[in-house]
Structure 1
Amino acid sequence: MAFPRSVCPILFSLALISTGCGADRSDDHAAPAGSMVRILSTTPDHSETLERGDVVNLKAEVEYQLNADSGTLSLVIQESDMSTISVHTEVVTRGSGTSVFEAEFVVPDTNAVLLFTPLTGQGQAKTSTVDTLAFKVEANDSEELYLEEATLIDADHCAISGVAIGSTYRDVLSAFGQPANVSEIGGDRGDTNRPGRSLDYEGAYIALIEDSVIIVSSESADHKFPGGLGPTSSREDVVSAFGETVGLSGEDREVLAYRCRDLRVLDRDVMVAVLVVDGTVESISVVHDDEH
């Protein structure tokens, strides 16, 4: 699961992305003349089809040429509706080079997973110097079971460090303090174009649309569910507290899914996801269920 999410400290407009990305674009938003970026390879290869609910360990090798003293290179992973899955960024300096980005995420309910690699020069707020690839996404055989038969848990459990779906920005600051990074995001919950922000903390990630939390997740033992269940807990602890449930598994890991009883926020159900690796909880998340 792609948490915590390293959030890019620059803004870029997806409306600027079009066929021919990766070339030096002669518009007001392109990186300095002579700059370029290209995705050399990905693991898994982008020709492979992803399945919804699978845990993906992505590696992307990106080549760049920057004709500025410094800038930023990012890997942005999004759903087909431009919802943000994960953003990773690093500072680069003048000249050419190759960067390798790594990200782990659960494939969401979408038709495609899109990769973008925007390159900006120092001081740029937007860029059209970007390369892109797309992964096709298909339904997992277990997906219907995962969505429909998740065990119900009391709504009181559906919060992390006191922050729940629908909490406000002030609630977040009260519980978590000031974030290490803040990034503006577009509306990324299906049919809404409302603005929002994503917040990076040490071991935690929170996203809001307008002033309402839509995602809260933690990889830190400092941020847990009510009652103390969270990262470093055992699978047995989860089952003891919440009961057995459906899940999606692969190799040494599984995602346990729970549905929050009688809890709907912004006309959507709320889900809890627990990522278990080798029998130990690695991350916990409370999210909107986009389908129901």
Structure 2
Amino acid sequence: MNRSLSDRMFVTFNFAFTLILLAVVLYPLAYILSASISNPLAVNSGQMWLWPKGITFEGYARVFQNAEIWMGFRNTLLYTLLGTAIHLAILLPCAFAMSRKDMRGRSVILVFLLVTMFFNGGLIPNYLLIKNLGMMDSWLAIVLPNAIGIWSIIVTRTFFTMNIPHELQEAAEIDGCHLFGVFLRIALPLAGPIIAVMSLFHAVGLWNQYFAAMMYLSDRSLFPLQLILREILILQEMNTTMLMNGDQLDSLAEQARISDILKYAVMIVSALPLLIVYPFLQRFFVKGVLIGSLKG
């Protein structure tokens, strides 16, 4: 097919723009990865801008020698798996019920749900609620308060409405399948894309969670990974400040070097698990985020 000059210019522009966008996205990741295994002096002086300089794995060694890092990994993995399972167990039945045309009062229920998107009790009432429910210093304080979101319900309901025809559900009911059977045998097998998308969204939120843990947990054995890493970075900065005030220049230089090594290694350690998981969910993710697009 012969393309006109304007078409070729348009394709060339899109290709160049995509390459520039790719470079903008990939460069920070490549820089952090290279900085995590480079000599901090080369990083701070600007000698390292893409490829590693003075390769050293001291940062990773120091991170993984810390027993609390492994404890944080275990806790975060537990919170992520349990929280995502609870999220899906509440989300999918609720969204499926809201997608049914024969559900009475679904418009009224939707209005009440939408109200919670605009109004929130606030930090202090939430804290008092968690305390009065006896969930302080418990994994329940991490996974239950944000187990479900109205935005997730609306998106999942839209998926069920657009991709699972009501006629298919009626046909199953005529064949003797009860409502729970329709949900388990028809709706869920066809909902793979939206399940992957909602699982990934919620899992990322739980994996990066540290504020709720900082508010509700005082037992260090329950701390998630992000809170442990945050404390490591803050402790390194505090030690550097204390040494600076004490005029211990040799110790200050060594402490600053260790702090720079840990900073980039910690970033990689906290982000790598999600980067590994995402490619396996990409095909479902791309399909799921296109909910609402026009169909030919």
**TM-score interval (norm. to shorter):** under 0.3
User: Which one has the bigger strand percentage?
Assistant: 1
Looking at both structures, which has the greater relative contact order when contacts are Cα pairs under 8 Å and sequence separation is at least 6?
2
TM-score (norm 1): 0.27
TM-score (norm 2): 0.26
User: Which one has the bigger helix percentage?
Assistant: 2
